[in-house]
Structure 1
Amino acid sequence: MAFDLKKEEDVKEFLDNLGIEYRFGCFSEKRPDSCHLLGDYLEGVKKDFEKASKVFRSNCDESHYGRSCYKFANYSFLGKGLKQNMDEAYSYYLKGCSAGDSDSCLNGGLMCVSNTPTNIQRRKDYEKGLELLEKACSGNNAFSCYYISGMFIQGIKDHIEKDMQKAFDYSLKACNLGNMYACANVSQMFRKGDGTAKDEERSDEYKKKALDMQEEFKQQAQIEFQQGTPQT
């Protein structure tokens, strides 16, 4: 049957059928990917965050589906659909990280090293934090590589020594993965000879790369604004 997605009743029927399909795939066929899609459906379409959180948690615990661990950890961190619980959030970020989800590694690492208002009561653990962030970076998480580079640029007293060569290596990887701020840092490092040999030509190359990314970001933001699409 063909759906006319310009018609409200067809859209409703289409979405209802999606829900049936995901439930069947999850509960009857026991497919972790369908369970995760069901969680996304409950979250995005039905706005039933409590049920969504239960689906994500179950799919993480029973099937070790990394992305579901990540989603449930976010729910626990934010208190979305359930009571806020920082220890539970961290635990599920670790589960997601172990299951290969780089965003889980990133968020778990940030919980170890940062002072967000919701995380202020947690004791910092820079060694574990760096371990998780490096795992995220190894999984090609651009922000994680960029964040680590910042840690080595500044250094952290009694925990992490300033190391411009490591900072350069992590910045370069983050830039190559698409982080424009890292590209700007790489440009500066080539210009000053911080962590690498001075090279004006390469400095200009990475400056241009950063500016191109910035322009692309602005254009995309403008398109989303014109289309009325909320930025995530």
Structure 2
Amino acid sequence: MAYDFKSESEVKDYVNNLGIEYRFGCYSEKKPEVCHLLGDFLEAIKKDFDKAGKLYKNNCDEYRYGKSCYKFATYCLMGKGGQKEDFQSGFKYMSIACEEGESEGCFNQGLVLITNNESKGVQMDIPKGMDLLRKACEAKNANACYYLSGMYISGMRNPKDPKKKEFISKPDMQMAYNYAKEGCHLGNIYSCANLSQMYAKGEGVEKNKELADKYKKVTRDMQAEMESNKTLTFQEGLK
């Protein structure tokens, strides 16, 4: 919906009315999706990170609204909004976000588990981490598909193997191709670049110059679009 504001006062009135609408929808109608939007409003418009953080936490604790769980997890990890930096609490809320269908929660929880965060109280678990990335990819998270593709290109070695010879997940170019293709179709530019190279070299898929050139062009077009379109979408918190 487009708005044709005639003056700065009209913009201020619109923003204030929006805040009132969100508060009513959250506190009176008790709609978790509106509570999340109110949190985004407090964060992005009012710059009141303390209130936003409390709202995200309550919306997660009371309604288990996945997007709010994810946002509060990031507050814990960053020490934002009056929260002390708390990696374990952040990981906990990432887990809840994932359980409630928020793919970003699954994606970030997976990344935590495949990297060494034992000093922060989270035990590395590469198989579980990869399972979470698969779950995120299946939920159309383009970044998760890209990371999985990369893991299958190089393989994942056992970090406790002193000579790093033992694979926990062996290289598999067919799987790497599958995830690169999915990531590209979901809009991940790096997946498209890798897909072009796979077709050019015949890795994980039959060599095909025409398709290599096609995805090379897709990559260039995506890069050009990213450089020319750097605006934010209002109410993107629900997407």
CA distances 1:120-164 after superposition (whole Å, capped 9, x unpaired): 634322122111111110111111100110011111113221111
Q: Is 2:201 the counterpart of 1:186?
A: no
Report the counterpart of residue 30 of structure 1 in structure 2. 30
Q: What is the letter of the counterpart of residue 26 of structure 1?
A: C
For 1:99 and 1:34, the matched residues in 2 are separated by 17
Contact 1:4 1:10 survives alignment (8 Å): no
In the other structure, the counterpart of 1:11 is: 11
What is the 5 A alignment of 1:78-227? 78-81=78-81, 82-114=83-115, 121=120, 122-158=122-158, 159-221=168-230
Report the alpha carbon displacement of residue 4 of structure 1 after superposing the two structures with TM: 8.1
Equivalences, count:
218
The CA deviation at 1:66 is 0.9
Task: Give 1:12 shift.
Answer: 3.1
Q: Matches of 1:112 and 1:167 in 2, distance apart? A: 20
Please report the RMSD computed on the Cα atoms of aligned residues, expressed in angstroms: 2.0
CA distances 1:41-74 after superposition (whole Å, capped 9, x unpaired)? 1111221111111111111111121111111111
Q: 1:199 to 1:120 in 2, by over 3 A?
A: farther
State the Cα deviation string for residues 29-52 of structure 1 (Å, max 9, x = none): 111111111111111122111111
Aligned equivalents of 2:17, 2:222: Cα separation in 1: 40
Match of 1:227 in 2: none
Partner of 2:75: 75
Kept in 2: contact 1:76–1:86 (CA 8 A): yes
CA distance in 2, matches of 1:203, 1:45: 44
The one-letter code of the counterpart of 2:15 is L
Structure number with higher helix proportion: 1
1:60 is paired with a residue of what secondary structure?
helix
Identity across matched positions, percent: 49
Question: 1:5: how far off?
Answer: 4.3
Secondary structure of 1:197's aligned partner: coil
Partner of 2:51: 51
Tell me, in whole angstroms, the C-alpha distance in 1 between the residues paired with 2:142 and 2:43: 27
What TM-score comes out, normalization by structure 1 length? 0.87
Q: CA deviation at 1:193?
A: 1.5
| Aligned-partner Cα distance in 1 for 2:27–2:228 | 43
Identify which of structures 1 and 2 has the higher relative contact order when contacts are C-alpha pairs closer than 8 Å and 6+ apart.
Answer: 2
